[in-house]
Amino acid sequence: MIGMNTYLNAYVDRRMKYIVDEWDLSTRVDISDFTSRLDALEQEIPRLKAFEHAASDKLTELENRAGKLKGGI
């Protein structure tokens, strides 16, 4: 008679791809280039911060202009 551990091991082996997909697990392929992807993201941070400041300044300028137009009508 097949033991419970043997049965469960065989089941997991057969269904591993579905388990990884269902539980959204990472695989070695997924994390093999993790550090290089993280480095690329970290290099983008200063550019994104500069964009955020420029967008904030532009929005403030547009709000001021809209306020002036609203007051002039």
Amino acid at 64: N
**Is-contact 19 12, C-beta < 8 A?**
yes
pLDDT score at 5: 87
Using pLDDT thresholds of 50, 70 and 90, give the confidence band for residue 27.
confident
pLDDT score at 72: 66
pLDDT, tens digit, for every residue of 1-23? Answer: 568 889 888 888 899 889 888 88
Average pLDDT, the chain: 90
User: For the chain, give me the number of helices (H) and strands (E)?
Assistant: 3, 0
Domain extents in the chain: 1-30, 33-73
Q: Is the pTM of this model over 0.85?
A: no
